[in-house]
Structure formats: structure tokens, C-alpha cells
Structure 1
Amino acid sequence: MLRNYRDDDADAIIRVAQAAFAEFEPHYSDWPLFTANVAKMPELARTGEIIVAEDGGRIVGAVAYVGAKASKPAFFDPSWPIIRMLVVDPSSRGKSIGRQLTEECLRRAERDGAGVIALHTTPIMTVALPMYLRMGFVKVLDAPDILGVPYAVYVKRLDWNCIGS
């Protein structure tokens, strides 16, 4: 079940985010700094909409949808809505939760009348990146490395008039 974030979700979202990124520890040059930044995920509710995935009343995933007019990193076109910090608890992977969260961001972009939606990710995300590519995201530019890990910006064109035809 997907729902909107509530303030009392913060601790659970931080736990899920840190668990989701734990496998990537060897790749980042400053793991304590990286995890401190991951723990700031609830702050994305200030500029965007956090969507929470629940399974049996337990938070198992989350993502932030940041609209076109909201503040975002400079490597994104300011007119693009973006997807930030898609996380799924490792114990809940393989249930299409990441895809459902991404599709909800696409629905919100449609609601907002966006022509594109963007995200940034890295090749070390060997599950997320292929999922985004299958969903039609295309690499458009390299983004700054994060603590020694290469990232790139991916965009999906949204042509709502052609959906279903």
C-alpha cells in the first residue's frame, strides 16, 4: 500500500533508507558522511512529497517526488520534477515496491502536467538502474560524483496523450 508521508514516519524511513544503502558501503569514500546524508531523507518533505510503501503496517519503502517549481540540485533542469531517494528495505525486495513507488512519482508528474521527469543514480545500483532503463529513462548527462561514486542524470519523457494508445 502506498500513502503520503506523515511526520511520525521519519524514524522508520531513516531505518529503511540506511538498510537499503548498506550494501554500497565499500563504494563510498566517506561512509559516515554518506549515511548522515541518507538520514536526512525526511527533510525532503519540506520541498517535495514523500511517498511511503507499507506492507502489513510496516514501512518497507519510500521515495520523494520533488515538483518542477521546488528547489533541487543544480545539475537538474529547474523545470523538471525529479525522483529522489528511492529506497526499499532489503527484506522486502522482489515485490515490485520500487517500481510501484516510481510509478506513483510518474502519476504525480502527470498530475502536475510535466513533460519529463528526472532522477540521478549510479551504475553501482544494479537493481534500480536497470529498472529505470526498462521504464524508459534515458541517460542525459553525467552528474557530480558522490564521495567517489559516479552518478548520472536520467530523464523520462512523458507524453500523456499517447498512454494507452
Structure 2
Amino acid sequence: MQLSKRTKILHITISFSMIFLLIIGIYMSETETFSLYPIHKSIGVIVFLFAVFRVFTRIREGWPKAIGNASKIQLAMAKLVHWGLITLTVLYPASGMMMSGGGGHGIYVFGLELLASNHDDISGKTIALNETIASIGHNLHETLVPVLILLIIIHVAGALKHHIFDKDKTITRMFSFK
């Protein structure tokens, strides 16, 4: 089964963006580099939109058929990893928006206000719009980091296994634009 250009572009765009956001997010948390938050949040909102579009594309086009002779357990693992990744590419940025928006920090895309921040004019402090939503978003955003990293590692390892050991066209199918 040949993959559509749309599927390939969405896969490449979302995968590299998610990896970039993970790296910058971990860096920001470890070093308290607050100046990177607007970039992180802006790209996160854009990735969310692409990820939702990717879900609709996947529903419309269906899941690609496996190439080669994979065992039933390998097929089940691949399906689980693919479902996990596509779910987290939507849920992870959504949790960031829940954290930021619910926490009163607003949601912006490179300066364009989608949800205004909520500041007390006198004290200058941020006032949460909904502490429960902000807390759920925060907990998801932190808890899902190792899950997302693990799924990415398994996905890349599986792709490399197909390419190096099985010598099939799995990677070529995703990255060829003929």
C-alpha cells in the first residue's frame, strides 16, 4: 500500500515537531528558561491542529498495511504503538493548552491571542480560569513525557528493524516522494 503525500508530510512534520517540543520542554523545565515558553506553546498549538487533521486523515485513508512477514505479536505491538503515538500527538499538546489556558496564562500562537491570559491588574499575578483543568493538564503533560519517549523509541527501533534486518520497504514507503 502506497502512502499518500498528505500522510507522509503529516508524519514527518508532527514527528519532528513533537521530538523538538520534547527536547525544548525538558530543557525549559531543567534550566527554568522561561523565554522559550512562548515558542514551545505556539508550536504546540500548531502541532495540535496538525495532529487532529492527521487523525481525520487516518480515519479517511485507514491504517497502512504491514510490509513483509511480521508475526501476529509484532503486528499487535505495531498497532498498539501506532495508536499510542497518534493518541499522544493529540493529547499531549491538548494537555499543554489545558495547563496554560486553565492556569490563566492564555493560549497564544506567535503573539496571536486565542485565549486571553487572566492577570490581576493590581498585583500583576496570574489568576487561574479553572484550577482543575490546569491541574489535569499539568499532570498529563508531566506524566506522559516518559510514555511518549518510550513509544517514539519503540517506533524508531521497529522502523530500523524493518530496514536493517528485514530489508523491506517500510522506511522507503514513508520517506519516498516519487
Q: From the two aligned structures, give the one with the greater helix fraction.
A: 2
TM over 0.5: no
Structure (1 or 2) with the greater strand fraction: 1
Greater relative CO, 1 or 2 (CA 8 Å, sep 6+): 2
Shorter-chain TM-score range = under 0.3
Structure whose CA Rg is larger:
2
TM-score, with length taken from structure 1 = 0.26
Q: What TM-score does the superposition give when structure 2 sets the normalisation length?
A: 0.25
